[in-house]
DNA sequence: GCGTGTGAAAGTCTTCACAGCG
DNA sequence: CGCTGTGAAGACTTTCACACGC
């Protein structure tokens, strides 16, 4: 995952834990799939499997939303879809601007799941005059000169930054000044924003580096395990016929 | 953050907390920038600011790696770059395959930061025969028939999935069967993998939904704050000249 | 004196396990 | 009887605050 935040210290009641919020979209996706297959109810066990979490966690998560299940039965799929959608604010429409229409910006504009639920690409913005006027994903790219006006006229509060890292902070500042209060940042830059503005980041190279760390550790453990196995084999040989405990590992890898 | 995992319960010594691992790439990026500006040393305060975290967290994180700082001075930039790179496994080269060369796959292939440190795009793979043979980012796209052979010959252990969701699990299964043990999944699907295989996911629509949640809450709080302000104003009016406590809010929004 | 390194405290998240309701 | 909802325990993470070494 990839996250940066800026929050007051966990508000009063209605306070759904951040970790739970981050999983609600997962549940919603699984529930939507069930709904499309006209499945009427689902147990925490089944839904948890579909969402890739364990059932205790799921039940705890849902308990923060209220008591929406029926004991001995499970959860009503349609009802839950509605409740989670409402909780996430997806019953309203969120106009979004994408700034920086390079490869990635274009890919996101074309991404279907974007419009699917609650989100609408209000505008594509680029600093390159060559780019302005071209159509991407059926939407005309506009020059960044008009950024403030576009945001104001469309009531945009969510901005997606897919610019080169060098200009990301400047773009961010303009977005915030123009009234955007949520930013999804794909540029490999740490954005600084005033209080009250949320930033989430998506960063390919960070994700790869985390994978590399674990990958390296696996390789190390493998070697360690082989060394351990070799030691055991050797110990077994030395121990050959000396006692009845030959199947107990004689060496524990430190 | 966007994450799925599959781990044994936190290994013995050398056990760097997952939260720390996820921040190491951030520190590394900040340090690399300092290194390019030939800055010799940096304090935890400065580096933390550059990485967007607080200094106590950074010092605690570094303490898991060892004692690499000098009291009263700070950290040696070059030395830290090396230590973190080594810890993350970036001193070796990781060949990576990208499967699914649509808009997003192509964008990733073109992404510069990819090759920058430790990673190398070993192959681009697509199921579409039209696609196979075309060049993307200077690399010939290969047909997915040869997936197993490509992985084997290149010693690939990290795979990136940018296919449509419908085929993501099948692709994942083939990657794993061919020997891949780390997967970065951009498809909006929950992948199931055997133990020992790491999956991380990047999901645009989940990130947007999390932002929408907070955005909605801001709107609610604003209304609440206005109501509160109105109530206070009204209370102040009612309280007019009745006591010396007029600057203490008379009404606390429930 | 300054800034690191780190126990200890506080906070958050996950898991357990079972009471209780349909 | 099955499955939800939830206190309580446990694990992990962050923050605090200060001893310690340069």
Tell me which protein residue sits closest to nucleotide C22, measuring alpha carbon to C1': A71
Per-residue pLDDT 10s for chain A (254 aa) are: 333 333 333 333 469 999 999 999 999 999 999 999 999 999 999 999 999 999 999 999 999 999 999 999 999 999 999 999 999 999 999 999 999 999 999 999 998 777 667 999 999 999 999 999 999 999 999 999 999 999 999 999 999 999 999 999 999 999 999 999 999 999 999 999 999 999 999 999 999 999 999 999 998 877 777 676 665 555 444 433 333 332 323 332 32
Q: Which residues in chain A touch residue B210, judged by CB atoms under 8 angstroms apart?
A: 21-22, 25, 200
61-80 on A, CB < 7 Å from strand D: 62-63, 67-75
Question: Is the CB of residue B19 inside 7 Å of nucleic acid strand D?
Answer: yes
Distance CA A177, CA A227 (A): 60
Nearest to B158 among A113, A215, A217 (CB): A215
Distance from CA of A232 to the nearest CA of B (A): 20
Tell me: the pLDDT tens digits for B133-153?
Answer: 999 999 999 999 999 999 999
B6 or B82, which is more confident: B82
Q: Stretch B164-188: mean pLDDT, rounded?
A: 98
CB nearest A25 (choices: B22, B117, B210): B210
Gap from A59 CA to D6 C1', in Å? 9
Residue A134 to residue B212: CA distance in whole angstroms: 29
Residue A185 assigned ligand-binding role: no
Backbone torsions φ then ψ of B229, nearest 5 degrees: -60, -45
In a 3-state reduction of DSSP, which class is residue A67?
coil
In chain A, the residue whose alpha carbon lies closest to the alpha carbon of B115 is: A205
- pLDDT tops 90 at residue B10: no
A190, B26: Cβ pair inside 8 Å? yes
pLDDT value at position B54? Answer: 98
Can you name the CATH fold of A94-202? Rossmann fold (3.40.50)
A15, closest nucleotide (Cα–C1'):
C12
pLDDT of residue A230: 61
The pLDDT score that the predictor gives to residue B114 is: 74
CA of B77 to C1' of C12 (A): 33
The top-level CATH class assigned to A18-88 is mainly alpha
Q: What is the pLDDT of residue B219?
A: 86
Instruction: Give the pLDDT band (50/70/90) at residue B249.
Output: very low
Which 65-124 residues of chain A touch chain B by CB within 8 A? 87-90, 92, 94, 96, 102-104, 106-108, 110-111, 113-114, 116-119
B231: pLDDT confidence band, cut at 50, 70 and 90? low
Average pLDDT over chain B, rounded to an integer: 86
Nucleotide nearest to A68 (CA to C1'): D4
pLDDT in tens, B112-140: 777 667 999 999 999 999 999 999 999 99
Please name the residue that has the structure tokens 């998506």: A202
Q: What is the pLDDT of residue A229?
A: 63
Please say if the pLDDT value at position B8 is more than 90.
no
Radius of gyration of chain B, Cα coordinates, nearest whole angstrom: 25
Q: Compute CA distances A227 → A224, B87, B175, whole Å.
A: 5, 22, 28
Residue ranges covered by each domain of chain A: 18-88, 94-202, 204-254
CB atoms within 10 A of CB A200: 22
């Amino acid at each position: 995952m990839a996250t940066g935040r800026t929050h007051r210290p966990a508000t009063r009641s209605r306070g759904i834990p951040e970790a739970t919020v981050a999983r609600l979209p997962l549940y919603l996706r699984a529930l939507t799939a069930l709904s499309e297959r006209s499945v009427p109810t689902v147990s925490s066990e089944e839904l948890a499997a579909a969402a890739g979490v364990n059932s205790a966690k799921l039940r705890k998560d849902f308990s923060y939303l209220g008591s929406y299940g029926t004991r001995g039965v499970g959860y009503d799929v349609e009802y839950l879809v509605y409740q989670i959608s409402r909780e996430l604010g997806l019953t309203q429409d969120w106009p979004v601007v994408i700034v920086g229409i390079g490869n990635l910006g274009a890919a996101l504009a074309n991404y279907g799941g974007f419009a699917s639920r609650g989100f609408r690409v209000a505008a594509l913005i680029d600093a390159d005059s060559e780019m302005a006027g071209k159509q991407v994903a059926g939407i005309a790219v506009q020059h960044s000169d008009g950024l403030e006006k576009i945001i104001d006229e469309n009531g945009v509060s969510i901005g997606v930054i897919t610019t080169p890292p060098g200009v990301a902070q400047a773009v961010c500042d303009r977005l915030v000044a123009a009234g955007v209060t949520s930013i999804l940042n794909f540029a490999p830059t740490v954005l600084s924003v005033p209080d009250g503005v949320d930033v989430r980041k998506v960063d390919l190279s960070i994700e790869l580096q985390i994978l590399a760390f674990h990958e390296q550790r696996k390789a190390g453990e493998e070697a360690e395990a082989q060394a351990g196995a070799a030691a055991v084999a050797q110990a077994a040989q030395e121990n050959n016929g000396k006692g009845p405990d030959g199947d107990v590992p004689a060496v524990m890898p430190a």
